A and B are shown apart, each in its own frame.
Chain A
Amino acid sequence: MIGTGMNSLSTPPATVARAARFRPLAALVHPLTLRAVSFAIALLAWEIAGRWPVSPSFPPFSETATAFVALLSDGSLLRAFGVTLTPLAIGLAVSGAVGVGIGVAMGLDERVEWFGVPIFIVLQAAPLAALVPILVMAYGIGLLTKVSIVCIMAMPVIVLNSFKAVRHAPRSLIEMGTSFLGTRAQIIRKIILPAATPVIFAGLRLGAAAGFVGAVLAELLVTPTGIGDIITYNQSIADYPKMYAAIAAIIMVSVGFIEILGFVEQRFLRPETRRTA
Chain B
Amino acid sequence: MITTLPAGSAGMPPSAHPGRFGDGIPAAAAPDGIVEVRGISKTYGGGVEALNNISLTFPEGALTSLLGPSGCGKTTLLKIIAGLVAPTAGEILVKGRRVTGPGPERSFVFQDFALMPWATVLRNAAFGLELRGVARSEREAVAERYIEAVGLKGFEHKYPHELSGGMRQRVGLARALAVNADVVMMDEPFSAVDEQTRRRFQEDLLRLVAQERKTFLFVTHSIEEAVYVSNRIVLLSRRPSRVQRIIEIDLPRDGDPDRIRRHPDYLDTVEDIWQGLRHYVE
Give chain A's interface residues, CB within 8 Å of chain B.
170, 172-173, 175-183, 186, 190-191, 194-195, 197, 269-272, 276
Contacts and interface: CB of A to CB of B under 8 A. Distances in A.
Interface stretch (B1-9, B113-121, B270-278): B113-121
B162 interface: yes
Interface in B99-113: 101-104, 106-108, 110, 112
A270 B118 contact: yes
Contacts, number: 60
A162 B212 CA distance: 43
Contacts of B162: 276
Contact of B118 (A178, A180, A272): A272
A270 to B, nearest CB: 5
Nearest to A183: B131
A229 B112 CA distance: 57
B132 interface: yes
Contacts of B159: 271-272
Contact of B128 (A175, A180, A269): A180
A175 B114 contact: yes
A195 B118 CA distance: 8
A180 B127 contact: yes
B102 A179 contact: yes
Contacts of A183: 131
Contacts of A195: 116, 118
B263 interface: no
Contacts of A182: 131
Contacts of B82: 179
Contact of A178 (B102, B127, B132, B179): B102
A182 B112 CA distance: 19
A175 B160 CA distance: 18
Contact of B102 (A170, A180, A276): A180
Contacts of A177: 131
B30 to A, nearest CB: 24
Contact of B130 (A172, A190, A270, A271): A190
B161 A181 contact: no
A176 B108 contact: yes
B89 interface: no
B208 interface: no
Nearest to B185: A179
User: Which of A173, A176, A276 neighbours the largest number of chain B CB atoms within 10 Å of its CB?
Assistant: A176
A183 B130 CA distance: 12
A15 to B, nearest CB: 16
Given A186-B131, A276-B162, A179 B118 contact: no
B132 A181 contact: yes
A179 B108 contact: yes
A180 B131 contact: yes
Given A186-B131, A190-B131, A272-B159, A179 B84 contact: yes
A186 B132 CA distance: 10
B116 A173 contact: yes
A166 B117 CA distance: 16
Chain A to chain B: the 8 pairs with minimum beta-carbon distance, closest first: A176-B114, A272-B159, A180-B128, A182-B131, A179-B108, A172-B114, A179-B102, A194-B118
Given A173-B114, A194-B116, A272 B131 contact: no
A97 to B, nearest CB: 22
A183 B257 CA distance: 42
Contact of B84 (A170, A175, A270): A175
Contacts of A176: 108, 110, 114
A178 B114 contact: no
A270 B104 CA distance: 30
Contacts of B101: 178
Contact of A181 (B102, B110, B118, B175): B102
